[in-house]
Amino acid sequence: MENIEDKIICECSNRTIKEAALIFYEADPNLPYKKAKKLVTLCSNGCCISPLMALFKMVKEKNIDYKKISFLIDEQNRWLKAQ
C-alpha cells in the first residue's frame, strides 16, 4: 500500500499531498488561499478545491491529518467520476 503522503492531491500538476504541504509551508503566510492554491495546482481550475483547502488550513494550524486529506481526495474522485 502506498504512503498516504504520496497520494496525488492535484491531477493538474500531479503533486502529492506531501509536495502540496511543503509548498504551502514555504509560501508567504499572509498569502490568501486562492494564490497559494495556484502555486500547487499551476492552474485556475477548481477540481481539487476540497482537499487542497483543507490542507491549506491544516498547514496554517501546523497539524496535518493525512487520513482526512486522503478521504477528501477519494470523495472528490468518486464525485468527479459520477459526473
DSSP string, 10-74: ETTTTEEHHHHHHHHHHS-TT--HHHHHHHHHSS---TTHHHHHHHHHHHHHT---HHHHHHHHH
Answer whether residue 2 is part of any domain. Answer: no
Average pLDDT, the chain: 91
53 belongs to a structural domain: yes
- Range(s) of the domain holding residue 42: 7-82
- Domain total for the chain? 1
Specify the amino acid at residue 40: V
Summarize pLDDT for 3-41 with one digit per residue, the tens.
999 999 988 899 999 999 999 999 998 999 999 999 999
| 1 located within any domain | no
- Domain presence at residue 75: yes
pLDDT of residue 83: 77
